[in-house]
Amino acid sequence: MARVRKKSAVPVYAVAFTWAFWASVLPMYKISHFIILTILSFLAYKTTSFIFRGKWVEVADPEPVYESSGSREVDALVLEGRQSIKRMRELNAQIQDKKISQQINRLEQLSNEIFVQVTKNPAKLPQIRKFMSYYLPTTIKLLTSYAEMSAQSVRGKNITATMQKVEGIMDTIVAAFEKQLDSLFGAEALDISTDITVLEGMLEREGLANTNAFGMQKENK
């Protein structure tokens, strides 16, 4: 969710009132009259805009656009994941707790990035099967229960205890989602480390490991 300022309609009404008032009591047959009226309208708009700044509202983030992976299985999985993210947004709109809401936003961001990475590289699909079959749906289930319980006007011991348990595990869930995303970059990290090792070896063999960008020998500290 994002917070945007919804502009007030008062400045527009102020301009309309300025024109209506002028037309009803003052002349409007010279260019100078219109120039003065335009200046007054501008001042009315700016003044009321400063006083009536509108209000902040929560708006849903635009849904990410996923390209086809070329694999029906992956595309079907991503579509399923998008439905889960949509449900997560709906639950977030119902939950009033700010910390939980921020955590849900983070889970949504991480989930989106996970699906983007799998779409780009379908070979990573096996790495998120457990994420899709258990972690994501279980998280949705917990948040659904939390949203339903938080909507109750009267909360007994069972409701309070359950809500506290959900609140207590949310940090762990966020960390698990972060690790899931990080694990998708394991192969790339290994490749980069290998490339760096090979490059360092070549530079040392060529006697270039201790030179700077100008080909001058660096001073050993």
| C-beta separation of 95 from 104 below 8 A | yes
Please tell me the pTM assigned to this model. 0.60
Please tell me the predicted confidence (pLDDT) of residue 196.
78
The secondary structure of the chain, three-state, reads CEEEEECCCHHHHHHHHHHHHHHHHCCCCCHHHHHHHHHHHHHHHHHHHHHCCCEEEEECCCCCCCCCCCCHHHHHHHHHHHHHHHHHHHHHHHCCCHHHHHHHHHHHHHHHHHHHHHHHCHHHHHHHHHHHHHHHHHHHHHHHHHHHHHCCCCCCHHHHHHHHHHHHHHHHHHHHHHHHHHHCCHHHHHHHHHHHHHHHHHHHHCCCCCECCCCCECCCC
What is the reported pLDDT for 215? Answer: 46
Which residues fall within 8 angstroms of residue 48, CB to CB, at 6 or more apart?
8, 10, 11, 14
More confident residue, 172 or 64: 172
**pLDDT (average), residues 3-15:** 78
Torsion 89-91-92-94 (CA) sign:
positive
Query: Does 208 have pLDDT greater than 90?
Result: no
Top-level CATH class of 61-185? mainly alpha
For residues 182 and 131, the answer to whether their CB atoms sit within 8 Å is no
Q: What is the pLDDT of residues 107-162, one digit of tens each?
A: 999 999 999 999 988 988 899 999 999 999 999 999 999 999 998 888 889 999 99
pLDDT surpassing 60 at residue 97: yes
**pLDDT higher for 220 or 154?**
154
Residue 216 scores a pLDDT above 50: no
Predicted confidence band at 221 (pLDDT cuts at 50, 70, 90)?
very low
Q: What is the pLDDT of residues 154-204, one digit of tens each?
A: 888 999 999 999 999 999 999 999 999 998 887 665 667 676 777 777 777
Is residue 58's pLDDT more than 70?
Answer: no
